[in-house]
Structure 1
């Protein structure tokens, strides 16, 4: 922020404390105080020949963002076209807009970056420090925050804020955006409505979570959905939706809640659809066991193709222990997974469904046999 913003923001904070006003619960009163302090600043500046701020409304917005939001990052968080905010250093800040990475002419300080991170983590119950140098957390608007600090990172803290844009949270909007043809959207909608289990695969930032959220939105008003995630990302809204989130261990090493534990607890909550936000470890075994009992499920997997996603789901349960046999896992998956939807991110940043495979229910030489349901044009 500019120097006048810093000065006025400090005055506003002082008045908010004196008048016992919380900007999060009394935004109009906070705005009134900010406007009054901005006018006071300009009056004093005019009398003393100091820097005068012509754009008072802009200064009010900066001050309010500082005292009640996330400071200079708040306008970026509020921008509906920005998908992600990346801070590599206080003077190296990027945003992803329409799939394109853009460097901003924005300079912060180490102190401001750390203060912003602390404010973001304040209400999450999560921490980042030398003993826990990485953290994942959800911001109030549903955005995902990831932070890595020194000395794991050389130099400054590394901060990523991945936003989940509301305009891409339904199948209809994804179809309109060109992510899939209309007939594919109708097929996926019917599959979810019929209670089929669907796995969404793809690389990082390919749009897996966005597509999964859009699929769940089609059934959220009809089915009881239990979601299981390490960090809340799926913004699923419905009358019978329960979202579960894992928990880090305390400083004493106690109290950790793993995805495996959450999957087991979710099965005791009578789900009509069990959702694992991202399957990447031994929780794959518990998901397979749930599928084998007839519970419809959904989830995402990092993979380079739909067939590789199935192979990975056959291997991940082996991480649960030596007594797990792939000869059981592969047939169980083949019989319970209905569709694997693979998404890609093109060079121009556009995300789309590349292929859809349907397991046939048969296994050959330990691999699940599939048939191709859909393949996008131009996909190798």
Structure 2
């Protein structure tokens, strides 16, 4: 593998050449500029610069005109999941072992801002002084931009790179006898069409694990996936994806996750999946689970299973549900919680639990907990085993 410093220099492009190509493309009046248009513009420059010089500069120019500019080598690296720009000379990446600063450079904050505005525009939105924050899914990435004055030291870019990993359930577990037992529990829960939530912190592997579990569903089942941005890619022959849409600059055309969950319920789903529950859509997902859409699931941002009840209660409140109503809906809808955490470059399932209501409050009953590399079976394991057996 190349060093990060070597990668940072791969797509160096002369600013004047990039500007010249852009001006040519604007002057040509071409709409929906693509790689062929850039190649033609570079071909015209070859008469002045020489073909060797243009050939050498072509990847950098293409990246600056069509792609991620100086960030392109990192976005293309299969190890990288996140690219964070805190300033012209402050770029960080996560390649599986935590955040690392890399020697990628922009000429100035104006260049960072220009890249942010171009990427957001590619996603059909705008980011400017009137609207200094925006989030889009573009070029296989989720891009979030914040401009000054909200970003006090200059334009900020946060890029999450979608990686469609060919993971297996065993990748989230060890190879001991107890790990095999937990794996068989989870496989049984999917076969028995139990409803579940995968919880975990940011970057813990929630979405990847959800995709792995959905891949275990029967081939004759229809899975409808609802997401903010399309990331889930289960290995399954019958999946349908719906993606939320933000309102346009006139405030029209918005479709929220809650809207899409209601649409999905009319599309004959065998399993209904919400990529990540964040707000009022939890009401519609729980309602779907409670009205016969078994085997459904989703992910939830939480630092432990113990934090899940509070998160569900907060999201229920956004949907106008009281604490007791949320507790009753969640306990009857959700059969199992599965918690995943990050350990260095790997991700591990570390807890399986169930939910129940006590004194009007939603509480977690652990079934299997990983502590110090060893699984401990807890009070909820009998219930989980019964669920696996169809009880």
Query: Given the two structures, how large is their TM-score scaled by the length of structure 1?
Result: 0.80
Equivalent runs, 1:162-241 vs 2, <5 Å: 162-167=160-165, 169-174=167-172, 181-219=179-217, 221-236=219-234, 238-241=236-239
Judged with a 3 Å threshold, the aligned counterparts in structure 2 of structure 1 residues 20 and 311 are, in CA distance, closer, same or farther, namely closer
Shift of residue 67, structure 1, vs aligned partner: 3.2
Judged with a 3 Å threshold, the aligned counterparts in structure 2 of structure 1 residues 331 and 258 are, in CA distance, closer, same or farther, namely same
1:351 aligned to 2:343?
no
* CA offsets 1:240-280 (integer angstroms, 9 cap, x no match): 32322333333343333222222222212221111122222
- Name which of structure 1's ranges 180-189 and 31-40 shifts more when overlaid on structure 2: 31-40
Judged with a 3 Å threshold, the aligned counterparts in structure 2 of structure 1 residues 144 and 379 are, in CA distance, closer, same or farther, namely farther
Judged with a 3 Å threshold, the aligned counterparts in structure 2 of structure 1 residues 189 and 57 are, in CA distance, closer, same or farther, namely farther
For 1:138 and 1:220, the matched residues in 2 are separated by 30
- Match for residue 159 of structure 1? 157
* CA offsets 1:207-250 (integer angstroms, 9 cap, x no match): 22222233233338543222222333324465432322333333
* CA offsets 1:109-167 (integer angstroms, 9 cap, x no match): 223222222332233223323443322221232x2211122221112111111123233
- Match for residue 377 of structure 1? 371
- Match for residue 302 of structure 1? 301
Judged with a 3 Å threshold, the aligned counterparts in structure 2 of structure 1 residues 14 and 328 are, in CA distance, closer, same or farther, namely closer
Q: Which runs of 5+ in 2 are unaligned?
A: 1-8, 375-391
Judged with a 3 Å threshold, the aligned counterparts in structure 2 of structure 1 residues 220 and 153 are, in CA distance, closer, same or farther, namely farther
Q: Which runs of 5+ in 1 are unaligned?
A: 44-51
Shift of residue 368, structure 1, vs aligned partner: 4.1
1:336 aligned to 2:321?
no
For 1:155 and 1:123, the matched residues in 2 are separated by 25
- Match for residue 92 of structure 2? 94
Asked if the contact 1:168/1:174 (under 8 Å) is kept, the reply is no
1:149 aligned to 2:147?
yes
Asked if the contact 1:207/1:344 (under 8 Å) is kept, the reply is yes
- Match for residue 121 of structure 2? 122
* CA offsets 1:265-323 (integer angstroms, 9 cap, x no match): 221222111112222222222222111102132112222211321343244323322xx
For 1:85 and 1:337, the matched residues in 2 are separated by 35
Aligned residues: 361
Judged with a 3 Å threshold, the aligned counterparts in structure 2 of structure 1 residues 312 and 70 are, in CA distance, closer, same or farther, namely closer
- Match for residue 46 of structure 1? none
- Name which of structure 1's ranges 183-192 and 265-274 shifts more when overlaid on structure 2: 183-192
SS in 2 for 1:72: helix
1:289 aligned to 2:287?
yes
For 2:38 and 2:124, the matched residues in 1 are separated by 26
For 1:181 and 1:168, the matched residues in 2 are separated by 20
Shift of residue 86, structure 1, vs aligned partner: 0.4
For 1:76 and 1:273, the matched residues in 2 are separated by 36
* CA offsets 1:82-116 (integer angstroms, 9 cap, x no match): 12100011111111122221112222022322222
- Name which of structure 1's ranges 218-227 and 62-71 shifts more when overlaid on structure 2: 218-227
- Match for residue 66 of structure 1? 64
- Match for residue 49 of structure 2? 41
For 1:149 and 1:269, the matched residues in 2 are separated by 40
1:364 aligned to 2:373?
no
SS in 1 for 2:298: strand
Judged with a 3 Å threshold, the aligned counterparts in structure 2 of structure 1 residues 61 and 251 are, in CA distance, closer, same or farther, namely closer
For 2:99 and 2:12, the matched residues in 1 are separated by 29
